[in-house]
Amino acid sequence: MELQRKAAKRIEKWFQKERNALLVRGARQVGKTFLIRQVLSSLGCNVIEINLIDSPEMISVLEQSRTVDDLILGFSTAGFGRPVPSESVIFIDEVQKYKDMITRIKFLVEEGSFRYILSGSLLGIELTGLSSAPVGYLSILDMFPLDFEEFLQTANISEESLSSLRDSFFKRKPVLDAVNEKMLTLFTRYLMIGGMPAAVSRFAETNNIEDVISIHKELVSLYKMDFTRYEQVDRKLLISNTYDLVPSELLKQNKRFIVSDLKKGLHYERVESTFLWLENAGVVITAYNATEPRVPLRLNEKHSLFKLYLADVGLLTSIYGMATKRMLFSRSVNLNAGGIYENAIAQELYSRQFPIYYYNSNRLGELDFVIEYEGKILPIEVKSGKDYTIHSAINNCLENKEFGISEAFVLSNCNIERRGKVTYLPIYMAMFITQDSYGDFTLPPLTF
């Protein structure tokens, strides 16, 4: 099936209202190339597309072109057609193969003959340390796996139904039981399939989980090829071993990644670059420890303490295996699903551009997630079992007047209920926790 992505609107806005270049970045197989082609085609654009992996000879053309005439000649000579000034959009895919293109884009945009859209994987790795950044000449769009709201296309959930659920979220009113149960079932399906477009499309066609697992295995193999290509000799297999360890770390009670589990006696300072590599490559999501749940959380960040989640929850459950997916489907009480649920919520928050933190105190307990929401601190507890009303850490933090927390969310397999400052939400409603609800923030005019 042809999946509609939220990022499409951002690309359309760029084309219609902006004159700078657009860089679309994200992990492998999140749908960057397909979406760019889809949107530009729908807009009727004259597109010249180059893939720098398939056509490495074009790197020298881009590098040596000093004028727009050189560029036109290089494109047409190489068989890519002749770009038409003021009409053509030049789409350069796998741009990480010529990272200086990001620097050169300033001059191409200033020249103004063409529009430029760039895309690639591992850009967080390849594009570090550039000599200059084209501020004002390049916009960046981050793409992620499908979030749960996008995944709902596979179930033909109408916009009217979503609007009704969104209204229940903001008004904190219960959802009809039949609707709530349907949505919880769909969320469970999302845990099993995840949001990688190839896996979602294949499942929509076949309903076969084995096909999904096969696609996920191929993708993990591609990731590991990238890991091996970038590993330094003195840290052989460290990136791969770290990635492999994430699923087992999420099975532990507190979910925190223990560096010494990689190798006894290993300290964070020695391997910090490994974790940053995985994060910048877009294959893991990091939740850092906040020493206090106060605004701004970044000032309270403790970088050496963190949780790691996989960028896609479907990859996680495929790594766990078919038995785990079956137990998820049946909602077996014997399944240790806490890490799976947390991974899905981390994915939802991260795709909405929330910096993600957790809080842990020997005295007050641990909060699964802490974010800045509507200008305030919002603790979020994720519960996979029936004891979702037991949350001593949230209670302790809400009672602490120094923190000034006005509300906390508990996400679980429940319906909406408000008890004091705690709001219980069905776990799928994480899709409504967005940055969009700030509203306008206008400063009053200055008076003298």
Q: Does 89 fall in a domain? A: yes
For 198, 380, 388, 403, the CA distances from 288, given in Å and listed in that order, are: 30, 14, 24, 19
Q: Tell whether 135 and 155 lie within a shared domain.
A: no
CATH number of the domain residue 80 falls in? 3.40.50.300
Q: Tell whether 254 and 295 lie within a shared domain.
A: yes
Q: What integer pLDDT is reported at residue 128 of this predicted model?
A: 56
What percent of the chain is modeled with pLDDT above 90? 79
Tens of pLDDT along 40-80?
999 999 999 999 999 999 999 999 988 889 999 999 999 99
CA atoms within 13 A on the CB side of 149: 20
Q: What integer pLDDT is reported at residue 192 of this predicted model?
A: 98
Q: Tell whether 169 and 101 lie within a shared domain.
A: no
Q: Does 448 fall in a domain? A: no
Answer yes or no: is pLDDT of 445 > 80.
no
Q: Tell whether 311 and 171 lie within a shared domain.
A: yes
Task: Give residue 438's pLDDT band: very low, low, confident or very high (50, 70, 90).
Answer: very low
Task: Give residue 130's pLDDT band: very low, low, confident or very high (50, 70, 90).
Answer: very low
Answer yes or no: is pLDDT of 126 > 90.
no
Q: What integer pLDDT is reported at residue 136 of this predicted model?
A: 79
Answer yes or no: is pLDDT of 437 > 60.
no
Q: Tell whether 102 and 211 lie within a shared domain.
A: no
Phi, psi of 312 (to 5 degrees): -140, 125
The Cα 102–Cα 100 span in angstroms is 5
Answer yes or no: is pLDDT of 395 > 90.
yes
Mean pLDDT value of segment 74-87: 91
Tens of pLDDT along 192-211?
999 999 999 999 999 999 99
Q: What integer pLDDT is reported at residue 439 of this predicted model?
A: 46
Answer yes or no: is pLDDT of 436 > 90.
no
**Ordered DSSP codes for 231-300:** --GGGTTHHHHHHHHHHHHTTSSS----GGGTSTT--HHHHHHHHHHHHHTTSEEEEEEESSS-SSGGGG
Answer yes or no: is pLDDT of 230 > 90.
no
Q: Does 444 fall in a domain? A: no
**Ordered DSSP codes for 319-386:** HH-HHHHHHHHTT-TTS--HHHHHHHHHHHHHHTT---EEEEETTTEEEEEEEEETTEEEEEEE--SS
Domain count, the chain: 2
Answer yes or no: is pLDDT of 442 > 80.
no
Q: Tell whether 91 and 192 lie within a shared domain.
A: no
Q: Does 443 fall in a domain? A: no
Domain that holds residue 315: 148-437
Q: Tell whether 78 and 210 lie within a shared domain.
A: no
* Nearest partner of 283 among 216, 199, 214, judged by Cα: 216
The whole-model pTM stands at: 0.93
Q: Does 446 fall in a domain? A: no
